[in-house]
Amino acid sequence: MKRTSPGSCGKIIGAIMLKDLRLYGRNKVYVVLTVLTLACFGALFWLIPGTVDDTITLAVSPPLQTIINGGKEALRELGASLEMLQELERAEFAEAEGLQLVELESAAQLRRAVEGTLEIYRANKDGGLILRDTVAGEKKPKDAQRVRIHIGIAFPDSFIAAVAGGEKTTVTIYADGGVPEEIRQAMQSFVREVAYQIAGRELPVELPAEETIILGADRNGAQASMRDKMRPLLAFFALILETFAMASLISTELLQRTATALLVTPMKMWHFLAAKTLFGTGLALLQGLIILALVGAFTPANWTLLLAIMLFGALLFTGVAMLIGAAGKDFLDQLIYALLFSVPLMIPAFAVLFPGTAAAWVRVIPSYPIADLLANVTIYGSGWSESLGSLGYALLWGAVLYTMSLLVLKRKVESL
């Protein structure tokens, strides 16, 4: 039996890849979608805000000084010392870290500010507040920055006196519909804590140590902006979208029995599988790297690691594409299978972008290590030492899916 020389094998594989490239180029739909995807992803990234504001803006009424002045006389009658009154006077509530305090004259103003019918601006020169009544059609003030109010607390004027005297009092919290429930609960806890402190009582709960509250990495003060979070997401989506194109290419060859025709030539089955692997992996890798370059993800410290991650990701999704292409009998079947495979693979991309630890079932999804690596490297600056475990996990899943795809595709071609 005559064996094919390594040089001939390379020529055969190269010829198949060239044929695939021509077939891909003739499919105007995927060519146009590929170009549009790259352009839109790059433009979208730079249009998204690149900064993050971790300051909570809290509105209160009436002004704190009014509340303090209204409670001084009652505190004196209850036996408060001069030192305690002076300490209350010197309290700087507005300087809490991560808190911006806006003081309004009345609960009516606070309610309208939360509703949006009363806009609050802070003058750039002296920092004073400027109120704009949108219902009355007042013009926007110049040389001032808008302060958006989403939540506020309306205290009664006699709040300090009532709490210190053990009387019941009502504090109203106004919140916009978009304020998360945990922020509302935090404001309620804040009011209760203030009341207990004024009354001179301890909180009726014992808080655990701080290290038992924080799960995973503590991102306090180092939150990623929406633009930073989109960087790994866009690269991940580039790999997924290429799965559709590669699956369509393989499905077309099987339907037209191109693979069967090629087997009567000196081409062997492993030539066909190797060409599909190299072409699919190279195409996905190239597009993923283009996206990463467009969004400025590469640095002198991470480019080799990102290249390895994208290579493993391209191999994994090429295996998925080969499975889809071999399973589909026509275009509709191929599209349905592509959606069935792709939607679950997208879940880890969103899971790793939000604070906290991903659920155990999410970590089992084959695409999880790729999404996790992209997020950690491009957002949080992880290096090789922190990524070796996830790289091994990604390589394991890639090998499993790739082996399955080779067996399924080989069996499909032989059955034609």
Domain boundary at 179, 212, 245, which?
A: 212
Does some domain include residue 319? yes
**pLDDT 10s digits, 348-360:** 888 877 655 667 8
Domain region containing 342: 9-49+224-415
* Statement to judge: residues 179 and 246 lie in one domain: no
Residue-level pLDDT at 89: 58
Task: Verify that 108 and 183 share a domain, yes or no.
Answer: yes
The answer on 349 and 246 residing in a single domain is yes
Q: Any idea which of 51-55, 106-110, 303-307 has the lowest mean pLDDT?
A: 51-55
Examine residue 310 and state whether it is found in any structural domain, yes or no: yes
Domain finish residue from 182, 212, 242: 212
**Max mean pLDDT range (173-177, 189-193, 306-310):** 306-310
pLDDT in tens, 14-33: 888 888 788 777 777 777 87
Query: What six digits make up the tokens of 36?
Result: 């549009």
Shared domain for 68 and 95, answered yes or no, is yes
Q: Measure CA of the first residue to CA of the last residue in the chain; give whole Å.
A: 26
Dihedral sign, CA of 245, 248, 254, 257?
Answer: negative
Q: Residue 166 — φ and ψ, nearest 5°?
A: 80, 15
Beta-strand pair 129-133/151-154: unpaired
Judge whether 108 lies within some domain. yes
Does 273 reside within a domain?
yes
Q: What is the pLDDT of residue 356?
A: 58
Residue 219 lies in a domain: no
pLDDT value at residue 211: 47
Give the number of domains in the chain. 2
Task: Determine the pLDDT at residue 391.
Answer: 92
> pLDDT at position 310, please?
92
Domain-terminating residue out of 161, 189, 212? 212
The larger pLDDT score, comparing residue 302 to residue 328, is at 302
Same-domain status, 26 and 128: no
Check whether residue 164 and residue 262 sit in a common domain. Answer: no
pLDDT at 204: 46
Q: Which two tokens stand for residue 145?
A: 């920055």
How far CA 365 is from CA of 60, 111, 312, 340, 368, in Å, comes to 47, 47, 15, 13, 6
Mean pLDDT of 61-74: 72
- Work out the average pLDDT over 138-159: 80
In a domain, 217, yes or no: no
Tell me which DSSP letter residue 212 carries. G
User: Can you tell me the mean pLDDT for 44-61?
Assistant: 73
Looking at residues 287-295, what average pLDDT do you find? 89
pLDDT at position 307 is 93
What pLDDT score does 306 carry? Answer: 92
Q: Which pLDDT belongs to residue 3?
A: 54
Measured between alpha carbons, how far is 274 from 290 in angstroms, rounded to an integer? 24
Residues 264 and 199 in one domain: no
- 30 and 98 in a single domain? The answer is no
Whether 98 and 166 map to the same domain: the answer is yes
Would the pLDDT of 54 be above 80? Answer: no
Strands 151-154 and 99-103, bridge-based pairing: unpaired
User: Would you say residue 279 lies in a domain?
Assistant: yes
Tell me the three state secondary structure of residue 115: helix
pLDDT confidence of 71, banded at 50, 70, 90? low
Q: Which of 137-151, 230-244, 291-305, 320-334 has the highest mean pLDDT?
A: 291-305
106-110, 284-288, 308-312: least confidently modelled range:
106-110
Report the range of poorest mean pLDDT among 35-44, 178-187, 249-258, 336-345.
Answer: 178-187
Whether residue 371 is contained in a domain is answered as yes
Note whether 200 and 261 are same-domain residues: no
Q: Identify the burial level of 89 via C-beta atoms within 10 angstroms of its C-beta, where 0-12 means exposed, 13-18 middle and 19 or more buried.
A: exposed
Q: Give the model's confidence band at 284: pLDDT under 50 very low, under 70 low, under 90 confident, else very high.
A: confident
Q: Are residues 285 and 409 in the same domain?
A: yes
The reply to whether 270 and 398 lie within a common domain is yes
Q: What residue has token string 């991560």?
A: 98
